[in-house]
């Protein structure tokens, strides 16, 4: 009888660690999009610039090719990663314009495009390593102010890449920064399923390489 008891105890001890390990995943519940973004690969972090304002931003990859990001988001003069991106144009969120972006994404598949989730870069912690210093004359503001501006204008921000022009034919492309809209939400279905709702201000960034 004793032998059976000790055998049972031994089995119980062996089985014990499992229940302790499993709840860990449940307690680490993702509360918002910033939490969700941390589960994705970091694609770029730096400053988005519009007029006299700059917005510390972290971009995490939703789909597409990391190579597009590293080749287009770099300073061709120095070869180093760009630390700021200046929005110089706007694209109205009209269906024909959105269809054109979709066409370019399809044309660029599988390795000529990338879609990223842009969220506010936190003042401390993840996503701020190498956050550039703000140039004189630029005011640091929260990303939500840029999102509100684009929503109000019913437009996406547009940046021609690479910044400062390219040296080779294959090194050009476009970056589109979409505020929350029907078009951008199609790339956030997984986040929506995970979180239930997308309350935090965010943008969806589409980078497409020009096809020759």
For the domain made up of 33-122+131-209, give the CATH fold.
Ku70; Chain: A; Domain 2 (2.40.290)
Q: Quote the tokens at residue 200.
A: 């935090």
**Between residues 159 and 126, the one the model is more confident about:** 159
Q: Are the C-beta atoms of 208 and 67 separated by less than 8 Å?
A: no
The fraction of the chain above a pLDDT of 90, given in percent, is: 59
User: Could you tell me the CA-to-CA distances from 203 to 76, 107, 130, 176 in Å, in that order?
Assistant: 26, 22, 21, 10
Q: Which helix (H) or strand (E) holds 193?
A: helix 189-195
Query: Structure tokens of 25?
Result: 């995943």
Q: Which helix (H) or strand (E) holds 10?
A: helix 2-15
Instruction: Pick the more confident residue, 212 or 99.
Output: 99
CB atoms within 10 A of CB 35: 15
**Token digits of residue 133:** 């210093």
Segment 127-174, tens digit of pLDDT: 445 567 778 889 999 999 999 999 999 999 999 998 877 666 557 999
* Amino acid 169: pLDDT: 54
């Amino acid at each position: 009888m004793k032998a059976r008891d000790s055998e049972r105890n031994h089995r119980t001890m062996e089985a014990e660690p499992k229940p302790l390990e499993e709840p860990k995943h449940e307690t680490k519940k993702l509360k918002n999009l910033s939490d969700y973004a941390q589960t994705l690969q970091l694609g770029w972090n730096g400053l988005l610039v519009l007029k006299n304002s700059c917005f510390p931003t972290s971009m995490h990859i939703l789909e597409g090719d990391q190579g597009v990001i590293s080749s287009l988001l770099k300073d061709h003069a120095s070869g180093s990663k760009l630390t700021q991106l200046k929005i110089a144009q706007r694209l109205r969120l009209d269906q024909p314009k959105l269809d054109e972006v979709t066409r370019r994404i399809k044309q660029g598949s599988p390795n000529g495009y990338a879609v990223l989730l842009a969220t506010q870069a936190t003042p401390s912690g993840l996503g701020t390593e190498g956050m550039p210093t703000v140039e004189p004359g630029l005011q640091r503001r929260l990303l939500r102010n840029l999102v509100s501006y684009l929503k109000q204008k019913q437009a996406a921000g547009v940046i021609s890449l690479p910044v400062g022009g390219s040296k080779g034919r294959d090194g050009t492309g476009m970056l589109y920064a979409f505020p929350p809209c029907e078009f951008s939400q199609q790339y956030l279905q997984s986040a929506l399923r995970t979180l239930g709702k997308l309350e935090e201000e965010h943008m969806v960034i589409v980078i497409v390489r020009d096809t020759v």
